[in-house]
Amino acid sequence: MKTNEKGSFLTMPACTVIVPCYNEQESIEKTINLFRTRLSKPDDLEFVFINDGSSDQTGDLLEKMTAGHKNMRVVHHERNGGYGSALKTGIRRSHSEWIAIVDADGTYPIDQLETLIGQAHDVDMVVGARTGDDVTYPLIKKIPKLFITAYASWIAGRKIPDINSGMRVFRREIAEKFFHLFPDGFSFTTTITLAMLTNHYDVRYVPINYATRVGHSKIRPIRDTLNFFKLIFRIGVYFSPMRVFMPIASTTFLVFLLCLAYDVLILNNLTDKTVFLFMFTAMITMFSLLADMIDKRLR
């Protein structure tokens, strides 16, 4: 509990719910009504709605729907900064130990938000994994997500049911430690997932349902998929370099052995290609060991 300058206690909400909004005029009224009707104690929560430079009526609707509700605040971005940018603004403006995030597009089950918050007290992050009984997920997103999740699970060293769910609850102080890593785009959730798992924080996954969104998706499948892979590689190098570089070194070492056998048994000569492969393997291995040592010392 925090105190003001005079020493009296300030009322602190149990959790701050951050809702990023960008051109969500078709769904935002319904989402806010669901917060009021589906949650048993909505007044115990702080709600921060981030109007991320919307070009439609989202900002006006937010002001209208939150007027008179002291636990609901609206923050306006003058221009669209991105999903991650909106969440970072919300975290900065929050007043709680716990942060919950949920989208405004009607895809996530609002009535399960309190379940996630209730399970967060003995862990560091609770993620609503979109693996429930009623999950509607476009095929164009499902296929690349399988590869992204498999690669991220390898980097993290544990199975990840849902790498980028937009409904989760986490400790604010832990998120602030990785603030410098969080991107402004859709990769915020992927980054915080890998940052926490590779640093051995306690993350719990709870199955939730997932509905068809209201309005148009802002995700661009090809570009965003490539960005996800690039991000996972970067986070892997940052927190788990051995898992990123050792498979590369192992592969080149195997190719080196094959080339060496060919040179010795067939050509009776050591070629430049074989020497290069050996040097490249040694370089990657040494780089991996050095990066891992630096990572452990910094931790």
Confidence class for position 277, pLDDT limits 50, 70, 90: very high
Name which of 218, 215, 217, 216 is nearest 29 in CA terms.
Answer: 215
What are the residues whose beta carbons fall under 8 Å from the beta carbon of 286, sequence distance 6 or more? none
Return the pLDDT at 4. 42
- The secondary element (H helix, E strand) that includes residue 183 is none
Query: In whole angstroms, what is the distance from residue 179 CA to residue 290 CA?
Result: 25
Give pLDDT tens digits for 212-265: 866 565 556 567 667 777 777 888 888 888 888 889 999 999 999 999 999 999
Does the pLDDT of residue 12 top 80, yes or no? no
Are 186 and 83 in contact by the 8 Å Cβ rule? The answer is yes
DSSP state letters, 200-251: T--EEEEE--BPPPSS-----HHHHHHHHHHHHHHHHHHH-HHHHHHHHHHH
Return the pLDDT at 147. 83
Confidence class for position 1, pLDDT limits 50, 70, 90: very low
Instruction: State in Å, rounded, how far the first CA of the chain is from the last one.
Output: 29
